[in-house]
Structure 1
Amino acid sequence: MHESLRIRGGSSQVFALGEGDRLTLYDLEGGQDALLYAFSPADTLPSSHPAAPPGALADLIAANENAGPTRHRLAGRDLAAARGILVSGREAGAGEALSLSAAADMTLVLVVPSAPSTADAVTPATDFGAEIARSEARPAVGSQPAPPLAEPLLDLRIKAATAERFEVKAGQYIEIMDIDGRQCSDFLAFDTALLAEGIECGLDATATRTIMGRAYPGPGLFSKFYDQRMRATVEVIQDTCGRHDTFGLACTMKYYDDMGYPGHDSCSENFNKVLAPLGIAARPGWPAINFFFNTQVNHDGTIGADEPWSRPGDYVLLRALTDLTCAASSCADDIDPANGWNPTDIQVRVYGAEHEFPKAIATRMTPDSPPVFTKETAFHSRIAPLSRRMVEYRGYWLANSFLADGAVAEYWACREKVAVIDLSALRKFEVLGPDAEALLDHAVTRDITKLAVGQVVYTAICYPHGGMLDDGTVFRLGPQQFRLVCGDPYVGVHLRALAAQKGFKAWVRSSTDQLHNIAVQGPRSRELLGRIVVTPPTQPSVAELGVFRSAIGRLGHAQGPAVVVSRTGYTGELGYEIWCHPRDGVALWDAVFDAGKPLGVVPMGLEALDMLRIEAGLIFAHYEFSDETDPFEAGIGFTVPLVSKKGDFVGREALLRRKAEPQRRLVGLEIEGRESAHHGDPVFAGRARIGVVTSGMRSPILDKTIALARVDIASSAIGTEIEIGKLDGHQKRLKAKVVRFAHYDPDKTRVRM
């Protein structure tokens, strides 16, 4: 039996090994310190590794993030007596492993420490992987539910193919957990007060979809669910799975009858049994929240299903918004993939209203990655009180717009004065080592050998077939020190794989959590930053900083917090980005807004940013580009110097072919009238579909309806008249013509001000 674990940088993990078990530890990104401690003199640790500091285990655990679980598992042990070894260090390569076998039952502790970090000296703590090969069969880890989130008021196990009823009070929390993975659970909730009056008022599919403005079905959950009175009943607080059915029927007897399994257990019949004592009339099919049920809508509108995405221990945490009588099931379906062909148990826990659980959605970068909850940026404490429209974006809570101004006013502030947006969700990677330049030059389309220290370059990152993995900017911080800023966290995995493939001595270390950033954009951005950022004599001042250049500075004075300032942006205006360590985020935000108040500074959200970047002709992942489009088709062919760049790079041969025989091109469109086109709208020449709208909007400053679209090369010439399809694409058309883009300031004069 094998177990896989991931130990986050800055944390620790306890391993309980039995005789003959084999433990293998991997430094996933390379260059990360890690120490392994044992408690018994008889415990065998590899003698070939340097000894860890004796008597240091207690201090190392205390310095780690979330040390409580480790301390709990080691209660009663003499931490001072533990002895250990250095598993990995700064010279370790990505994926470097240590493996050991337990000669007897033993307990080990792995500590992955973090080091002090600032904006000008980023030392990120990165993750370790662990594999345990058990020598004999043991009870599966998933056979017992994961530990509770707090002390539960109710801890109820729902056996496979059954249902249970329970009650919760307003403000209390309901956790529904898939114990073993790939198991669905249907959930019902009724207003308890109305039930006492003989009135059945439960969760309502149509009311919820109508109020939330979403179609059925949807992979994922609404933030709130409503009852037949159109009142919010439950609120989703946390979700570690991310894939659910938004209101189908719980499985029914009719389904099994029609499939040839008469008399088969069903969730609807199980609900009828547990609700009957309350006088609730039986139904042949109960509408429910179908947690962990994996549905999809096929191209013809039919609904299909496959195995759930949920892993052992995945859960959904709800908060009751009124007193509720609830019922939950472990789905009985074993005749199709809905429960992985094997129904298992569901755990339900209820927690008191006095607890506070942060709202979060879990994401996994790769299928084998651990779930990571939505994080708050360094600026969250300043931003959240100003916005009621916080959205999850690439694992972080960011503001979509702000209460005081709204998206259009935020847009105008950027065009006319100065606006500030939190962009900490951008992924940052420190690329270090003797072959750092060679690795990046091979991985990206731009010629990194020409990049000077302090210079920044915008580039594409491609797969071998020429499709784009991502776009991003590369900062050269020193001869062998680079920083890559992009959108997709998978870029780090991609770079490390290339380094191993080519034998480069280079480390790619994830630094997103150690480096947060805001963009200060608009005609008065230089004036604002000049008031708060000081740079040493060896660095350019804010006033001297050229386009696509960066500088190391201090906030306020020579002893202030360290910051990195780059003259970069995503708005088409004069603008800068400021990078700081998260502990300095509040100080940076306050300094910017104190200095910017006389200049008319406003906070800006993602909605306004999207308007600005469309006008400026700037591309966005999964809109203007994807792994099916190359940089030429995405409108950034200038990032691919196929002639002047002498070194080979990923995708070069494919891009040579694609450039020689282009099929599609990204173009700008002007649309007649005031009705906007949207992402995904089809583009037609007569009856033939020739492309798709990638982004569209009504431009406030141009007073025109504009769009970006990817069209067949034969219809890409400026002045070509086309039509955008609405409804079914044919019944309604918007007339448009191809124009030069960027629509706003096509010669980029404003960013060079």
Structure 2
Amino acid sequence: MNLVTPTPNASAPRPRLREPGLPLFRPGTERHLLRGGGAVILHLFRGDRVTVTDREGRQPCEIAAFAPDGQEDLGALGLDAVRESAGINRLLAGGDPESRAVASQLRQRNLPSRVSRAGLLFARDSRPGETVEMAVAREGIAIFHAAGGPMAVDAQDAPTDLTLVVHRATATPLIEPPLPEPLADFREELRVAKCTARGYEVKAGEYIQIIDVAGRQCSDFVAVDARLLEKGIDRGFDMTATRTMTGLLYPGPGLASKFFSTDLQPLVEVVQDTVGRHDAFGLACTARFYEDSGYPGHPSCSENFNSSLASFGVVPKRGWPCINLFYNTGLTSQNAIFLEDPWSRPGDYVLLRAMTDLVCASSACPDDIDATNAWNPTDIHVRIYPAKSDFQRAIAFRMSADSEPRLTRETAFHPRTSALTRNFTEYRGFWLPSRYTATGAVDEYWAAREAAIVLDLSALRKFEVLGPDAETLLQLTCTRNIKRLADLQCVYTALCYESGGMLDDAIVFRLGADKFRLVCGDEYTGQWLREQAAKRGLRAWVKSSTDQLHNISIQGPKSRDILKEIVWTAPANPKLEEIGWFHFTIGRIGGYDGTPVIASRTGYTGELGYELFCHPKDALKVWDAVWVAGQPHGLKPLGLDALDMLRIEAGLVFFGAEFNDQVDPFEAGIGFTVAVKGNEEFIGREAVLRRKEHPQRTLVGLELEGNEAASHGNCVHVGRAQVGVVTSGCRSPILKKNIALCRMDIAYAAIGTEVEVGKLDGQQKRIPATVVRFPFYDPDKLKPRS
């Protein structure tokens, strides 16, 4: 067993063309992601080599190994039994889906469901990227477990991910990547060979999984109502009807998820989608398309559909209306349709549910004359699952182009929020409520301004920043002066690239001398922090803890009255009512033996408010306690639609609207986060200060005349010249005006300047507007300080 800490190879040639997501491993090499707290079971053979990488550091890996006869055999991996296998046994005894899946795999292999001893990789202070290599001496089954249990709210020991790479001694050349594991027990599966199509039947309620086997391959999908077909009526997809009914170019998982026929009847709904980039603009490719391109006789999807559906009595068509799965097209500003290489990677899929009995066909598009299939047609695979299957609606989220996909998750508060609404929005890998059925966005807004609301913000990313150089790392990466941060205090900050553009905004909590927690919006921020620590050789660890800390926000003038009734704190900690703005306390819900929480006086509404952080296993207890205590005070749930109105009125910025990697903190309107004289070290400081001294744009507030609202991206003009762009806009219920945040040319940023918000092409329609002071509501922030 060898311990390796990888270092960059400066002499390695740089590839000219980089395509993230395509398989890069040679035949015989497998890569497995081991989620924090989870397990991977591998069948290993003599001569195989296994490499385990601690991605974030300080993450122990427990390993158990069995010989083919079921006897424990850690020696096959060159390991000694150094500890009782508490982690693996705790996992196997659990009742969650991960535990049941691991236990099921052991039963299928006739292996015991309990382990007596286990090997251990990585010391307590293992570095991010630290690697252990093992040679397999003999055949067996191994369990790899990223050990760790539930993290306490004031602890920082969240289990994090490991990577396993297996180099097989006997490499079988792969003609194509392996298929993803089935989502459940399927009724039928079929392979659609490249440049062909296949027809099949499904019953109402059954699920159809269409898989891109090798990546970058389009698959047209057609469906005809089978019950009407028996009567001689041909009703298939109508994309005009679908776009009209859903308001979307392409439906995705959620409420607006169905594809409709000409009769406005739903035929299929989208349940899961790991790509999110498809097309419903045109027809399946036709013989005429290839003929007009100079390729007469070329096979086409439409002709292939006619052949594959003939036996079902479907009338042939010269061009088939269809769902063009994995087809990467768009519209230019001149209304021309264009295409590029598909986004799909090997194993990507779309899962559809039949709304009625259907005759279907799937193609593996034969187009090899342009980028439709990345110039290289490959196979498509179809699996059909019975109607009794239960699949959650989900979209694949990737932290970066090279990251493993993760399907949309429900927060720990979802059982309570989903009982109050069906309107959910996918936000960075989580489902969050957009509005609630019994109230609606305006009533939720007024509850926040006049009483109190509770809001699920568990999708915020949390990172534990630890170690003797933790403060140094945050001083380097945050624009604030972190050295001035006291225990139980937190601060709002920006994080910038060397260019001065913003990577993210965040709140940094100080739990102790060398212990911090960073709460932000972007999952990539944690990876960036680790990269900065590695570049400078800092002894600091950045551990992902989002899955160990979910949080709700209780905001409004009655929020303190609600929470002080239920949050108990030890005598050494501040009481809830004693917490100052941007401070926090550690306590429990209900008393000395209650549910542990961290309560911070922070928020995103411009009102007095707090946030409660807890472990997901305790989330329902926390929600219920807040809900019961809040009813006498008029507490209501609040969704993202109302939150957007609140934060615009309060002048609070949002990624992708007020800031991005091209915008510095001063341009974003949060120049107060830059410690010009208190932090001479932060990344991007020179660029930020240079921009400050020579500003070109700044964030301003606009009040619009009339009743038409501005929206993100609207141009702002003085005469014919564009001088700004609207970043966010809404109708303010309390001000009874249309307001907007605008990134404005500095020459037109003075209060009182008259401008016009452009609609249509920016020239044909203009809405008069005036630059005003912002925040629009409570500009001196007296309410959150109260």
**Shorter-chain-normalised TM-score: which range?**
over 0.9
Is 1:99 matched up with 2:139? no
Q: Deviations over 1:340-364 (max 9, x none)?
A: 3222222212212112111111111
CA pair 196-73 structure 1, distance change in 2 beyond 3 A = same
Aligned to 2:23: none
Q: Secondary structure at the match of 1:531?
A: coil
**Pairwise CA distance, 1:144:** 4.5
Is 1:621 matched up with 2:648? no
Q: Secondary structure at the match of 1:437?
A: helix
CA pair 584-82 structure 1, distance change in 2 beyond 3 A = closer
Aligned to 1:140: 174
The 8 Å contact of residues 12 and 110 in structure 1, kept in 2 or not, is answered as: yes
What TM-score does the superposition give when structure 1 sets the normalisation length? 0.95
The 8 Å contact of residues 728 and 741 in structure 2, kept in 1 or not, is answered as: yes
Find the partner of 1:313 among 347, 351, 356: 347
Q: Deviations over 1:27-68 (max 9, x none)?
A: 001111102333355955356x88343798555544586145
Aligned to 2:704: 671
**Pairwise CA distance, 1:706:** 0.6
Q: Deviations over 1:412-470 (max 9, x none)?
A: 01001111110111001111111111111111100100000011100001111111011
Aligned to 1:408: 442
Q: Secondary structure at the match of 1:120?
A: coil
Deviates more, 1:569-578 or 1:341-350: 341-350
**When the two structures are aligned, how many residues end up with a matched partner?**
751
**Pairwise CA distance, 1:337:** 2.6
**Pairwise CA distance, 1:316:** 1.2
Is 1:488 matched up with 2:516? no
Q: Distance in 1 between matches of 2:664 and 2:353?
A: 45
Give the residue type in structure 2 aligned to 1:10. Answer: G
Aligned to 1:741: 774
Is 1:690 matched up with 2:723? yes
Find the partner of 1:657 among 671, 687, 690: 690
Q: Distance in 2 between matches of 1:216 and 1:56?
A: 44
**Pairwise CA distance, 1:246:** 3.1
The 8 Å contact of residues 39 and 82 in structure 1, kept in 2 or not, is answered as: no
Q: Secondary structure at the match of 1:338?
A: helix
Find the partner of 2:378 among 320, 327, 344: 344
Q: Distance in 2 between matches of 1:567 and 1:502?
A: 34
Q: Distance in 2 between matches of 1:489 and 1:388?
A: 26
**Pairwise CA distance, 1:180:** 2.3
- For 1:562-573, what aligned pairs fall within 5 Å after superposition? 562-573=596-607
Is 1:30 matched up with 2:57? yes
Q: Secondary structure at the match of 2:419?
A: helix
CA pair 82-418 structure 1, distance change in 2 beyond 3 A = closer
Q: Distance in 2 between matches of 1:142 and 1:546?
A: 59
Q: Distance in 2 between matches of 1:545 and 1:54?
A: 43
Q: Deviations over 1:591-645 (max 9, x none)?
A: 1111111111100100000000000000001000000100010000010112232
Q: Secondary structure at the match of 2:77?
A: coil
What TM-score does the superposition give when structure 2 sets the normalisation length? 0.92
Deviates more, 1:186-195 or 1:631-640: 186-195
Q: Distance in 1 between matches of 2:198 and 2:415?
A: 40
CA pair 68-81 structure 1, distance change in 2 beyond 3 A = closer
Aligned to 1:724: 757
The 8 Å contact of residues 247 and 288 in structure 1, kept in 2 or not, is answered as: no
Q: Distance in 1 between matches of 2:466 and 2:218?
A: 45
Deviates more, 1:117-126 or 1:372-381: 117-126
Aligned to 2:478: 444
Give the residue type in structure 1 aligned to 2:642. Answer: A
The 8 Å contact of residues 35 and 110 in structure 1, kept in 2 or not, is answered as: yes
Q: Distance in 2 between matches of 1:237 and 1:148?
A: 15
Aligned to 1:711: 744
Aligned to 1:532: 566
> RMSD between aligned alpha carbons?
2.3
Is 1:432 matched up with 2:428? no
CA pair 141-260 structure 1, distance change in 2 beyond 3 A = closer
Q: Distance in 2 between matches of 1:140 and 1:404?
A: 55
Q: Secondary structure at the match of 2:291?
A: helix
Q: Deviations over 1:121-167 (max 9, x none)?
A: 34311000122334554143955433322222221221111111111
The 8 Å contact of residues 463 and 519 in structure 2, kept in 1 or not, is answered as: yes
CA pair 83-159 structure 1, distance change in 2 beyond 3 A = farther
CA pair 732-291 structure 1, distance change in 2 beyond 3 A = same
The 8 Å contact of residues 458 and 473 in structure 1, kept in 2 or not, is answered as: yes
The 8 Å contact of residues 461 and 471 in structure 1, kept in 2 or not, is answered as: yes
Q: Distance in 2 between matches of 1:623 and 1:691?
A: 13
Aligned to 2:18: none
Aligned to 2:405: 371
Deviates more, 1:198-207 or 1:6-15: 6-15
Aligned to 1:256: 290
Give the residue type in structure 2 aligned to 1:728. Answer: D
**Pairwise CA distance, 1:17:** 4.1
- For 1:227-626, what aligned pairs fall within 5 Å after superposition? 227-626=261-660
Q: Distance in 2 between matches of 1:387 and 1:56?
A: 38
Give the residue type in structure 2 aligned to 1:738. Answer: V
Is 1:701 matched up with 2:724? no
Aligned to 1:66: 98
The 8 Å contact of residues 615 and 744 in structure 1, kept in 2 or not, is answered as: yes
The 8 Å contact of residues 554 and 563 in structure 1, kept in 2 or not, is answered as: yes
Aligned to 2:84: 53
The 8 Å contact of residues 430 and 508 in structure 1, kept in 2 or not, is answered as: yes
Q: Distance in 2 between matches of 1:81 and 1:718?
A: 71
Give the residue type in structure 2 aligned to 1:51. Answer: V
Q: Secondary structure at the match of 1:552?
A: strand
Q: Distance in 2 between matches of 1:316 and 1:334?
A: 23
Q: Distance in 2 between matches of 1:35 and 1:406?
A: 49
The 8 Å contact of residues 8 and 128 in structure 1, kept in 2 or not, is answered as: yes
The 8 Å contact of residues 209 and 382 in structure 2, kept in 1 or not, is answered as: yes
Give the residue type in structure 2 aligned to 1:27. Answer: D
Is 1:158 matched up with 2:192? yes
Q: Which runs of 5+ in 2 are unaligned?
A: 1-25, 68-72
Q: Secondary structure at the match of 2:682?
A: coil
**Pairwise CA distance, 1:678:** 0.3
Identity of aligned residues (%): 54
Q: Secondary structure at the match of 1:325?
A: strand
The 8 Å contact of residues 615 and 742 in structure 1, kept in 2 or not, is answered as: yes
Q: Distance in 1 between matches of 2:735 and 2:499?
A: 38
Q: Distance in 2 between matches of 1:199 and 1:254?
A: 26
Q: Secondary structure at the match of 1:194?
A: helix
Q: Secondary structure at the match of 1:256?
A: helix
Q: Distance in 2 between matches of 1:92 and 1:148?
A: 35
Deviates more, 1:163-172 or 1:218-227: 218-227
Deviates more, 1:171-180 or 1:131-140: 131-140
Q: Secondary structure at the match of 1:312?
A: coil
Q: Distance in 1 between matches of 2:102 and 2:83?
A: 18
The 8 Å contact of residues 249 and 280 in structure 2, kept in 1 or not, is answered as: no
